[in-house]
Amino acid sequence: MSSTIGTLFKVSTFGESHGKAVGAIVDGCPANLLLSEADIQPQLTRRRPGQSAMTTARDEADQVTILSGVENGKTLGTPIGLMVKNKDQRPGDYGEMSNVPRPSHADFTYQMKYGNRAASGGGRSSARETIGRVAAGAIAEKWLFEQFGTRIVSWVSSVGDIDARDLTMEGLTREQVDANIIRCPDAVAAEKMVGLVKKTAARKDSVGGVLTCVAENIPVGLGEPVFERMEASLAQAMLSIPATKGFEIGSGFSGARMFGSQHNDPFEMKADGRLGTSTNFSGGVQGGISNGEPLVFRIAFKPPATIGMAQETSTFEGEATVLEAKGRHDPCVVPRAIPIVEAMTALTLMDFVLRQAYRNA
């Protein structure tokens, strides 16, 4: 287990689907940040399942409680304990699957690694684990916004084979992202995506998708070469989210098909007196260090592993069997993953900002 991330802004999470609670400890938050549950709840609510036809219908209130680290509405500089109670603490529908590891799910690997597993099967690979991250990320995000005006916005850029048109961040807000249930700001593509997810759900299947995330107003100089280059740490943060299969920054995989003369971002003096670049194939990072341009990256999510459709597979003992998952399951996780991606971005940036401070002191 490695449930702690960060060097100076250190977040440790705990919790499975069916224990008493999930949550996190945030250690290293600067003192005197105005903070209450109301600052944290909105992103938790965006993460919550059952918000729309797109996502599973289990009702989870996910109300966060601050247990420590805040007094008189201000952070103390001490660890902030965060807790969200689980509503349903008993293993239910999941019980009967126990002898058949779900294909491409964590049942098998958890059992092999730990010699035990949660009744829900996936243990910490459960989406519910991400609650602690989202709560912690909301704190980082608030501090970054107050210090630098940092804005982090993620959206759905593809579902299955339906791609949104290329969207720049210019003016793009979370409200616009949330304007439709699939959270794709390209309304035309969004409608097609919703149709695809509905059809997929109807036949008890699931479908993957891609998120784009942009972070603006990032100080120059963040990232710790060599093993914690900005892109390396973002990649780790993003691929620590369940169901992810890929990460790319700036030009990404398409950059591998380009020539240097096309790909290099020329420097130019910006209107605000900052030396910037006229293109951003770098995605805001050079030499592993932020250059002041927006960070732009994408994360690939596989289709959810748990599907109601019949699958031929095998028991733990190797006997062939057919599995049909009971209950309701997310046919597509990308809309719900948005606040998680935003949170992991904020946690990564926050830690880098604090680590850079001594160089500017």
Residue ranges of the binding site for NADP(+): 47
Residue 258: which H helix or E strand, with range?
A: none
Smallest separation, CB 167 to a second copy (Å): 17
Whose structure tokens read 């069916």?
18
Select from 113, 165, 198, 326 the one that contacts a second copy (CB under 8 A): 113
Residue 165 has φ and ψ, to the nearest 5°, of -65, 160
Q: Which residue, 171 or 259, has its beta carbon nearer to a second copy?
A: 259
Q: Which residue, 38 or 269, has its beta carbon nearer to a second copy?
A: 269
Select from 305, 338, 340, 346 the one that contacts a second copy (CB under 8 A): 305
Neighbouring C-beta atoms of residue 229, cutoff 10 Å? 17
The Cα–Cα gap between 86 and 18 comes to 7
- Binding of a second copy at residue 96 (CB under 8 A)? no
Neighbouring C-beta atoms of residue 81, cutoff 10 Å? 16
- Binding of a second copy at residue 348 (CB under 8 A)? no
Q: Which residue, 6 or 185, has its beta carbon nearer to a second copy?
A: 6
Select from 238, 296, 340, 346 the one that contacts a second copy (CB under 8 A): 238
- Binding of a second copy at residue 73 (CB under 8 A)? no
- Binding of a second copy at residue 341 (CB under 8 A)? no
- What residue numbers does the annotated binding site cover? 47, 124-126, 287, 302-306, 328
Q: Which residue, 169 or 252, has its beta carbon nearer to a second copy?
A: 252
- Binding of a second copy at residue 293 (CB under 8 A)? no
Select from 185, 303, 335, 339 the one that contacts a second copy (CB under 8 A): 303
Select from 41, 45, 98, 108 the one that contacts a second copy (CB under 8 A): 108
Evaluate whether 324 touches 308 at the Cβ level (below 8 Å). yes
- Binding of a second copy at residue 31 (CB under 8 A)? yes
Which residues are within 8 A (CB) of 95 and not within 5 positions of it... i.e. 6 or more apart?
119
3-class secondary-structure state, position 186: coil
Evaluate whether 251 touches 283 at the Cβ level (below 8 Å). yes
> Which residues inside 33-62 make contact with a second copy, applying CB under 8 A?
none
Candidates 349, 286, 328; CA nearest to 55 is: 328
> Which residues inside 168-197 make contact with a second copy, applying CB under 8 A?
none
Select from 282, 340, 341, 349 the one that contacts a second copy (CB under 8 A): 282
Select from 41, 52, 58, 74 the one that contacts a second copy (CB under 8 A): 74
Select from 41, 45, 51, 109 the one that contacts a second copy (CB under 8 A): 109
The Cα–Cα gap between 274 and 260 comes to 24
- Binding of a second copy at residue 227 (CB under 8 A)? yes
Instruction: Please report, for residues 75, 194, 309, the alpha-carbon distance to residue 31 in angstroms, rounded to integers and kept in the order given.
Output: 5, 44, 51
Select from 45, 51, 104, 217 the one that contacts a second copy (CB under 8 A): 104
- Binding of a second copy at residue 80 (CB under 8 A)? yes
- Strand 10-14, strand 70-71: pairing: unpaired
* Dihedral (CA of 345, 349, 350, 355) sign: positive
Residue 246: which H helix or E strand, with range?
A: strand 244-249
